[in-house]
């Protein structure tokens, strides 16, 4: 059975059992652009943006959706997010530079990160970034000084850590007490940070942010953390905290495998908005602007990686390795945190899955495996293998390990395709080297 739930909205299988995305035959895309290649379906991308904007605004008109760039961004994608009315989260000077290059209005850009450098903060303040989400006492002092030097008052949010475990992988859990991110509410640091921020002459505290981790398949952590943080914030009203913005972060889950059923966007919206409304009513608090920061859940489902099968090694009674021409250099997630994926043979999608194989990459690490012990139709060298739900945290974490050039990014729509990032060349690999 074709796992439709993990593929882009436009994915279909034609009469010959070939995978079509955005009206384009993936076998032809692999031929034209070479492999590995990442295919992004523009319809899915825009549908996901619209579902976040519409589902939240339907319940709570004062919602601003900020796309979390670290999931993956480049100038062409930034233009699409801008067209869809989204703002941006950035976590580095590099992401900020892309936002700026793409003509993104910087007042809709929020700067996150646990250790922004003085250089990054100076650029952000001077360029007029919308908000800096302050993450440490060091940053409070540094940013206040930088804003003072620039003759500005910088709008900020404070990132608090509510101490709520969203039950995801330990590497992607961020809102608990043992985390490098944010000011802990439990330890008293968050209270101290709010008081310090309110006393800074060149900072204007607009509200609080938290981000629990990712991907979060449960609704309850959002409900619990929203209530906890709002109640915490209410305690500082007399000291001058006006919560005009409230940001419960991102972390919305997507399906990576056929059996996963993440909550719909409407369910996340209902949970967060109803908790926000009832808690504010209970506390007699004015309703703030709601900031939502999806990354994975927007770009993840839009992306499909295509690889070509090369060597096949059968170790009788042990394992059958099917090696492809990409791997951990373009998708580190299985090696980094045991991420799992569906795998589809793009030219044999109507054939029975008859053998158990492990899809290995071409990198010199035994841990370079994209999918372990999955069922496929009989694999042959030259087959095109599609790995869906790979739009998020794959291209953005890609490396040049083994000096493999990073793959191109191709946008498909209505039967047409266009390169939005070309394949790297060998010259690119040596661009920064000096002899």
Ligand X SMILES: *Cc1c(COP(=O)(O)O)cnc(C)c1O
SS3 325: coil
CA dist., res. 151 & res. 145, Å (int): 10
The answer to whether 162 contacts ligand X (rule: CB under 6 A) is no
Which of 160-168, 243-251, 260-268, 354-362 is the region at the interface with ligand X (rule: CB under 6 A)? 243-251
Q: Looking at residue 102, what DSSP letter applies?
A: T
| Class of residue 185 by CB neighbours under 10 A (exposed 0-12, middle 13-18, buried 19+) | buried
> Which positions from 69 through 88 interact with ligand X, judged by CB under 6 A?
70-71
Pairing of strands 203-209, 369-376: unpaired
Q: Which is nearer to ligand X, 135 or 342 (CB)?
A: 135
The answer to whether 294 contacts ligand X (rule: CB under 6 A) is yes
The answer to whether 295 contacts ligand X (rule: CB under 6 A) is yes
Query: To the nearest 10°, the Cα dihedral for 204, 210, 215, 218?
Result: -140
In angstroms, give the least distance from the CB of 392 to ligand X.
6
SS3 267: helix
Q: Quote the distance between the C-alpha of residue 269 and its chain's center.
A: 18
Q: Which is nearer to ligand X, 5 or 172 (CB)?
A: 172
In angstroms, give the least distance from the CB of 71 to ligand X.
4
End-to-end Cα separation, the chain, in angstroms: 54
Q: How far is CA 49 from CA 68, 104, 157, 356, in A?
A: 12, 16, 24, 37
User: Any bridge partners for residue 12, and if so which?
Assistant: 20
The answer to whether 95 contacts ligand X (rule: CB under 6 A) is no
The answer to whether 251 contacts ligand X (rule: CB under 6 A) is yes
The answer to whether 7 contacts ligand X (rule: CB under 6 A) is no
User: Among 266, 278, 321, 284, which residue's Cα sits nearest to residue 51?
Assistant: 266
In angstroms, give the least distance from the CB of 264 to ligand X.
15
211, 223, 333, 362: which one contacts ligand X (CB under 6 A)? 211
In this structure, are residues 168 and 190 in contact, taking their beta carbons and an 8 Å threshold?
no
Q: How many residues bind ligand X (CB under 6 A)?
A: 17
Q: How far is CA 18 from CA 14, 348, 409, in A?
A: 5, 6, 21
Token output for 18: 């070939």
Catalytic residue among 24, 49, 280, 364: 364
The answer to whether 116 contacts ligand X (rule: CB under 6 A) is no
User: Any bridge partners for residue 376, and if so which?
Assistant: 355
41, 55, 84, 89: which one contacts ligand X (CB under 6 A)? 89
The answer to whether 391 contacts ligand X (rule: CB under 6 A) is no
24 catalytic? Reply is: no
130, 182, 207, 250: which one contacts ligand X (CB under 6 A)? 250
x/- letters, 220..239, toward ligand X (CB under 6 A)? --------------------
Q: Which is nearer to ligand X, 26 or 184 (CB)?
A: 184
Pairing of strands 109-111, 87-90: parallel
41, 135, 139, 293: which one contacts ligand X (CB under 6 A)? 293
The answer to whether 154 contacts ligand X (rule: CB under 6 A) is no
Q: Which is nearer to ligand X, 276 or 344 (CB)?
A: 276
In angstroms, give the least distance from the CB of 299 to ligand X.
8
The answer to whether 368 contacts ligand X (rule: CB under 6 A) is no
Q: Which is nearer to ligand X, 211 or 362 (CB)?
A: 211
In angstroms, give the least distance from the CB of 104 to ligand X.
17
How many CB atoms are closer than 10 A to CB 183? 25
The answer to whether 252 contacts ligand X (rule: CB under 6 A) is yes
Which of 6-14, 123-131, 231-239, 293-301 is the region at the interface with ligand X (rule: CB under 6 A)? 293-301
CA dist., res. 77 & res. 69, Å (int): 10
The answer to whether 303 contacts ligand X (rule: CB under 6 A) is no
In angstroms, give the least distance from the CB of 59 to ligand X.
19
The answer to whether 297 contacts ligand X (rule: CB under 6 A) is yes
CA dist., res. 348 & res. 341, Å (int): 18
The answer to whether 200 contacts ligand X (rule: CB under 6 A) is no
In angstroms, give the least distance from the CB of 57 to ligand X.
18
Interhelix angle for 93-101 vs 118-127, to 10°?
30
User: Among 44, 22, 52, which residue's Cα sits nearest to residue 417?
Assistant: 22
Residue nearest to ligand X (CB): 295
Token output for 269: 């919206």
Which of 210-218, 228-236, 339-347, 423-431 is the region at the interface with ligand X (rule: CB under 6 A)? 210-218
Which residues touch 23 (CB under 8 Å, ≥6 apart)? 10, 412, 413, 414, 415, 416
Q: Looking at residue 215, what DSSP letter applies?
A: -
Q: Active-site positions?
A: 364
Contacts with ligand X, residue ranges (CB under 6 A)? 68, 70-71, 89, 112, 211, 214-215, 249-252, 293-297
């Amino acid at each position: 059975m074709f796992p439709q739930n993990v593929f882009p909205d436009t994915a279909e299988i034609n009469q010959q059992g070939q995978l079509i995305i955005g009206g384009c035959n993936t076998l032809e895309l692999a031929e034209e652009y070479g492999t590995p290649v990442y295919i992004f379906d523009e319809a899915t991308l825009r549908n996901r943006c619209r579902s976040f904007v519409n589902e939240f605004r339907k319940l709570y008109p004062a919602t601003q959706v900020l796309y979390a760039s670290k999931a993956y961004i480049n100038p062409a994608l930034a233009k699409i997010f801008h067209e869809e009315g989204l703002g941006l989260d950035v976590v580095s000077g590099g992401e900020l530079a892309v936002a700026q290059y793409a003509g993104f209005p910087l007042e809709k850009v929020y700067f996150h990160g646990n250790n922004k450098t003085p250089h990054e903060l100076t650029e952000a303040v001077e360029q007029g970034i919308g908000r800096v989400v302050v993450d440490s006492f060091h940053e409070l002092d540094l940013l206040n000084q930088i804003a003072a030097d620039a003759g500005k008052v910088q709008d900020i949010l404070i990132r608090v850590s509510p101490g709520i475990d969203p039950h995801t992988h330990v590497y992607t859990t961020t809102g608990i007490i043992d985390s490098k991110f944010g000011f802990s509410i439990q330890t008293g640091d968050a209270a101290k940070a709010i008081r310090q921020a309110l006393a800074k002459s060149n900072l204007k505290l607009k509200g609080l942010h938290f981000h629990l981790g990712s991907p979060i398949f449960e609704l309850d952590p959002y409900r619990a953390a929203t209530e906890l943080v709002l109640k915490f914030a209410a305690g500082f009203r007399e000291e001058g905290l006006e919560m005009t913005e409230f940001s419960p972060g991102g972390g919305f889950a997507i399906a990576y495998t056929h059996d996963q059923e993440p909550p719909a966007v409407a369910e996340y919206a209902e949970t967060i908005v109803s908790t926000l409304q009832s808690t504010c009513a209970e506390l007699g608090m004015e309703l703030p602007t709601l900031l939502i920061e999806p990354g994975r859940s927007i770009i993840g489902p839009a992306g499909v990686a295509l690889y070509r099968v090369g060597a096949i090694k059968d170790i009788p009674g042990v394992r059958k390795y099917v090696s492809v021409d990409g791997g951990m250099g373009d998708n580190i997630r299985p090696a980094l945190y045991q991420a799992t994926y569906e795998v589809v043979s793009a030219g044999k999608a109507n054939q029975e899955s008859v053998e158990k194989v492990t899809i290995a990459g071409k990198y010199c690490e035994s841990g370079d495996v994209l999918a372990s012990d999955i069922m496929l139709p009989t694999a042959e060298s030259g087959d095109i293998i599609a790995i869906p739900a790979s739009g998020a945290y794959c291209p953005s974490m890609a490396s040049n390990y083994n000096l493999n050039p990073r793959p191109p990014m191709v946008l498909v729509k209505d039967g047409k395709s266009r390169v939005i990032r070309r394949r790297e060349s060998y010259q690119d690999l040596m661009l920064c080297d000096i002899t």
